[in-house]
Amino acid sequence: METGPLGTHTLIELHRCDAGLLNDEVRLRSVMLEAVRRSKAHIIKDVFHSFSPHGVTGVVVIAESHVAIHTWPEYSYAAVDVFSCSEKMSVETVVEYLRDHLRCQEIKMTKFKRGTGLRP
């Protein structure tokens, strides 16, 4: 008997965000961690890194899988992805919190089921 999917992977394009925030590793980390907390996910560890001359990468490893962000302040753009294997986690909460706190004016989202057609 087949089972799955095991989770949903959501790719989120954040356009026309606040460029200053996208380049501020400390504030971006704080926004990301709060977004993840509010989604009811369980944070295990996070890694953030600033690039020269600009851009930040951040990954939050969660019990439910991961939330990652990569920013291009020069385009006021951020690429986010949320992989969640729990229906209790609200991906919408992550997206709305990031939209509001990174001041994004345009969002595109695509969802993919991961781990389909599995057999034990």
Residue window 66-85: x/- pattern of binding to a copy of itself, with contact defined by CB under 8 A: x-x-x-x-xx-x-x-x-x-x
Burial class of 71 by CB neighbour count within 10 A (0 to 12, 13 to 18, 19+): buried
Decide if residue 53 touches a copy of itself (CB under 8 A).
no
Stretch that binds a copy of itself, among 22-30, 32-40, 55-63, 90-98 (CB under 8 A): 55-63
Stretch that binds a copy of itself, among 10-18, 25-33, 35-43, 92-100 (CB under 8 A): 10-18
Q: Tokens 């690039």 identify what position?
A: 51
The CB-of-63 to a copy of itself minimum distance in angstroms stands at 7
Start-to-end CA distance of the chain, whole Å, equals 8
Residue 70 is a catalytic residue: yes
Q: Crossing angle for the helix pair 91-101 and 25-38, nearest 10 degrees?
A: 150
**Alpha carbons 59 and 28: distance in angstroms, whole number:** 11
**Alpha carbons 29 and 54: distance in angstroms, whole number:** 15
Q: What is the DSSP letter of 16?
A: S
* Residues lying near a copy of itself in the complex (CB under 8 A): 3-4, 6-7, 9, 11, 13, 15, 44-45, 47, 49, 51, 57, 59, 61, 63, 65-66, 68, 70, 72, 74-75, 77, 79, 81, 83, 85, 110, 112, 114-116, 118-120
